[in-house]
Amino acid sequence: MLMSMTGFGKGFAETSGKKIAVEIKSLNSKQLDLNVRLPFAFRELELDLRSTVGTVVERGKADVFVSVETAPGAQQPLSASLNIDVLEAYKAQVTEASRRLGIAEPADWYSVLLRFPDTIHTDTAETAGEDEARALMEAARSAVDALMAHRRAEGEALERFFGERIEAIGTLLSQVEPFEKERVAKIRQRMADGLAKIPVAEYDKGRLEQEMIFYIEKLDVNEEKQRLARHLAYFMETMQAPKPGQGKKLGFIAQEMGREINTLGSKSNHAEMQAIVVKMKDLLEQIKEQVLNVM
């Protein structure tokens, strides 16, 4: 079972006339990279929120957004009010300054007085209460559940993607054998033709045969074919593991597959075999790109 690192989840909870929403967006990353943005009143809950989200998300770059709105129909008290006493004191001082300095009093008193500090009193709570804290965690858990469901759906798509390409590489691997036999015969014939063109040449035919066998063995690709076939099977086996978290392991297997395909290409010395190797490399590159998205 694969789990993608890409996903989105959103959760809601209501309390005390407030609606708390938590959104989580995640992308691929080598490690867990958690970025949290939440209202000032919830700042003391950031560590708990990080623990709740990070424990489940485990890996990837995740952005967590928390927003708080007044629930529909709820009566929300005013959070700000004018400080009349302070305004009165400022007005008296401005009037006295106008008289003593011989400067006209302002035409628009409010635009002047409201620029002074402490003229507006705010009643916004500095920290969230227990009910709001519980609602935040409830919304966070709902968002995490939605995110993981999205990740699982993306993982199923990746399973189909990998399965199709692993099968295609296996099919291409089976097409190598006919060309491999043909290649050995051509190499023998080419070496024999080359010797025949030498006008006068005395050589030990037994030693020549040994050298030809040694040369052909160096070009043998049976071991590479067998190892590549095992890597393909191991990739599929790892992908079907019941617990998510195979991303790094699949990446290592893909690297080993690449080594065998590259060696197969360097030993092929045959146009049709090299064309097959190029197709394998293309499919493997597609696999490597998408493996980066697997947890």
**Domain with 283 in it:** 153-291
Q: Do residues 58 and 111 share a domain?
A: no
Is 157 a member of any domain? yes
Supply the pTM of this predicted model: 0.71
Q: Is residue 2 part of a domain?
A: no
In a domain, 1, yes or no: no
Looking at residue 212, what is its pLDDT?
Answer: 62
d(CA 127, CA 121) in angstroms, rounded, equals: 17
- Looking at the fold, whether 13 and 138 belong to one and the same domain comes out as yes
CATH number, domain at 28? 3.30.230.10
Based on the domain organization, do 137 and 164 belong to the same domain?
Answer: no
pLDDT of residue 292: 93
Does one domain contain both 159 and 234?
yes
Asked whether residue 216 is assigned to any structural domain, the reply reads yes
Shared-domain flag, residues 43 and 68: yes
Q: Reduce the secondary structure of 143-212 to three states and give it as a string.
A: HHHHHHHHHHHHHHHHHHHHHHHHHHHHHHHHCHHHHHHHHHHHHHHHHHHHHHCCCCCCCCHHHHHHHH
**Residues 277, 159 within the same domain:** yes
Residue 283 lies in a domain: yes
Q: What's the pLDDT at 73?
A: 60
**Does residue 145 sit in the same domain as residue 12?**
yes
Total of domains in the chain: 3
Q: Are residues 95 and 170 in the same domain?
A: no
pLDDT recorded at residue 279 = 95
| Phi/psi of residue 177, nearest 5 degrees | -55, -50
Tell me what pLDDT residue 257 has: 96
Count Cβ atoms below 10 Å from residue 54 Cβ, excluding itself: 16
Is residue 145 a part of any domain in this protein? Answer: yes
Same domain, 17 and 145: yes
Number of CB atoms found within 10 A of residue 30's CB = 11
For residue 161, being part of any structural domain is answered with yes
Question: Does some domain include residue 159?
Answer: yes
Stretches in the chain below the pLDDT threshold 70:
71-80, 121-126, 181, 183-196, 198-219
Say yes or no: 39 and 58 in one domain. yes
Claim to verify: residue 106 and residue 238 sit in the same structural domain: no
Same domain, 105 and 162: no
What was the pLDDT predicted at 77?
Answer: 54
Q: 3-class DSSP state for residue 128?
A: coil
**Residue 292, φ and ψ in degrees, nearest 5:** -65, -20
